[in-house]
Each structure stands twice: as structure tokens, then as C-alpha cells.
Amino acid sequence: MVLLETCRGGRMFAPTKTWHRWHCRVSATQKPYAICPALAASALPALVMSKGHRVEQVPELPLVAEDKVEGYKKTKEAVYASQRMRAGKGSMRNRRRIRRRGPCIIYNEDNGIIKAFRNIPGITLLNVGKLNILKLAPGGHVGRFCVWTESAFRKLGNLYGTWRKAASLKSNYNLPMHKMLNTDLSRILKSPEIQRALRAPRKKMHRRVLKKNPLKNLRIMLKLNPYAKTMRRNPVLRQAKNHKLRMDKAAAALETPVVVKKGKKAVGVKKQKKPLAGKKAAATKKPAVRRSLQRRNSPRMKRKLPHNNLGLFIP
């Protein structure tokens, strides 16, 4: 085991704080407003089947059961000895093992119904007085299959009321009104009244064309300015003409004879000298002798020099 001095005092990345905003506050008037369309969608077979529930053999929607279902206390009573729908493990629904949502059981009073249905995989139990939008429309998609008890279904009128009668269990609350009386939008658009008021469809399609730079694209420049081709061509032709004149003048200069001064014969065509293959090595010069020494060693200077008493010659 290796202990690193720089890794002491480890901590958790982005630790959870008590002031973290785990949930978003929703006003009390918006919650029942969202629950109403979720309950209405659970009564439409098309939306329920699009959610994935197999309700082909269900006699009607919404499905209402008798109140004696609330008195069930055993799971075998709730599933009617079915091998397909049996009690499972609650730990099977997590991030690793996903179980699909099944039907939602909505009851009025708990006389043992929670113990009978809570261990069945995918089943959700809700009290009619505490409906949760996250359970009625999981994932934000409405259309969950709901099974109601008779007393719970009758209590909806007192909780949410109708368009003619206000709710008795809530103060000053009415059902939200429809924005459209007829929700069949395709039928409305195809009606002769709407078609008569609409203008004729535009058959010519004007697609956006990519704009190109005429300074970089010659084809676009010629569309804007046809004379641009001549303007580009003239300098090229002028340069070629000048180059040809220079070459002709240089060739004529090589062919003309060289004119010399008087007294000398004119040479014909001037010939270019051939480069020498190699130069001879320069002659070695003798080292220069100093003038003073040369003057000293001369025989004239030797005669004038005196002799010492010993008879030696002193230079």
C-alpha cells in the first residue's frame, strides 16, 4: 500500500448541501389544474394504449371496481391466482433493473388494499384525496391505466366539481374550461368554411440561394460585370507582348556586328569568350627583406664599419 502525502484530506466532489433545491415549488392552484387533464387522459383508450398498456380486453375505460376490493388483505386475493402478475421484489426497480409501470389503483379508504397490492411489480396505489401528478403521468406523459374503486370515483365530483356545480370539498374551485369546444383539429382545418377563407396555396417555391463573393468567383463577377473578363485579359496580353519584344531585341543584339574605333579593323560577329578550364598557380614571391637590414649587409657599409682591438668584425 502506497501512501501519498498530496492525497490526504480527500473529500466528495460537489457534496450535497442542505440548501440544495431538490424540488420546485408549485402553487396550490396549478397542482389540481395539472391533475385534471391527467385524469381525463386516463379515460381515453387511444392515449392509454399509446402509453403501452394492453387494454384490448378491458370492458370500459375508466375501469371502476366494487368497494369490496378495498377490503383485500392478501396478494393472492388481488391477483386472482395469476401466474403472470405475482408478488415480486421491491429492489428490482432501480437504475440497473428497470420495471415498466403497470396500472394505478386509486382507492378511497384503506381497509387492507395497500397490503394486498403493494408487492405486485409495477402497481402504484394512490388515495383519491392525495392524487400525485408524478404517478398519474410518469415522465410527463399522460394516459396511465387507472383502476378506480366505486367510492373513490364518486368522490371526484366533490373534489373537483363540474362546470355546473362547484367543488364542495375545496373552496372556490372550478374545473378548467376547454380552450376548444371541438378538439378535432384536422376536421376543422378541412371544413369548407375554413378552406373558403384561406388563400390559394403558393406553388412556386422560392428557395434561398447561397450568396457567393464575386471578387473570388469569376462566374458570378461576369454576371454582374461582363467587361471584367476583358479587364483581366488585357494585362495578361500586354505582359506577353512586352516579353516577346524583349526577347526579340535581345536576339537582334546578338546578331549585330561590334563597331570599333578608327585604325582598328572591325571584327565580325562578337563571340563570347569561353571560360578557362583552370588558372595556373601564381608564382611564389620571395619574402621581402627589410631595407635597413639590406643596407647594413651591403659591402659599402662593411668597409666603413670600425674594427675592435681584438680584430673581430662587428656587424
pLDDT score at 312: 47
pLDDT digits (tens, 9 = 90+) for 86-105: 556 655 555 666 778 899 99
CB atoms within 10 A of CB 257: 10
Mean pLDDT is highest, among 160-164, 183-187, 258-262, for 183-187
pLDDT score at 262: 62
pLDDT score at 197: 93
pLDDT digits (tens, 9 = 90+) for 25-59: 888 878 888 999 999 999 999 999 998 899 998 99
pLDDT digits (tens, 9 = 90+) for 186-203: 999 999 999 999 998 888
Q: Count of residues for the chain?
A: 315
Q: Which of 78, 76, 68 is nearest to 102 (CA)?
A: 78
Which carries the bigger pLDDT value, residue 91 or residue 158? Answer: 158
What is the Cα–Cα distance from 291 to 313, expressed in whole angstroms? Answer: 22
Those residues whose C-beta lies under 8 Å from the C-beta of residue 63, and which sit 6 or more positions away, are: 145, 146, 147, 148
Homologous superfamily, domain 30-177: Ribosomal protein L4/L1 (3.40.1370.10)
Cell 371526484 maps to which residue?
156
CB atoms within 10 A of CB 252: 9
Which carries the bigger pLDDT value, residue 207 or residue 306? Answer: 207
User: CA torsion angle for 256, 261, 266, 267 (degrees, to 10)?
Assistant: -70
pLDDT score at 195: 93
pLDDT digits (tens, 9 = 90+) for 139-148: 899 999 999 9
Q: Is the pLDDT of residue 256 over 90?
A: no
Please give the backbone phi and psi of residue 136, each rounded to the nearest 5 degrees, phi first.
-75, -30
For residues 115-127, average pLDDT: 88
Which carries the bigger pLDDT value, residue 277 or residue 57? Answer: 57
Which carries the bigger pLDDT value, residue 1 or residue 196? Answer: 196
For residues 160-171, average pLDDT: 85
Which carries the bigger pLDDT value, residue 212 or residue 83? Answer: 212
What is the Cα–Cα distance from 57 to 236, expressed in whole angstroms? Answer: 87
pLDDT score at 208: 85
pLDDT score at 71: 84
For residues 210-238, average pLDDT: 94
Q: What is the mean pLDDT of the chain?
A: 81
What is the Cα–Cα distance from 92 to 28, expressed in whole angstroms? Answer: 34
At residue 228's C-alpha, the angle toward residues 227 and 230, to 5°, is 70
pLDDT score at 303: 55
For residues 240-267, average pLDDT: 80
Print burial letters for 152-189: b (CB count within 10 Å at least 16), e (below 16): bbebbeebbbeeeeebeeeeebebeeeeeeeeeeeeee
pLDDT score at 294: 60
CB atoms within 10 A of CB 81: 8
What is the Cα–Cα distance from 146 to 128, expressed in whole angstroms? Answer: 12
pLDDT score at 96: 66
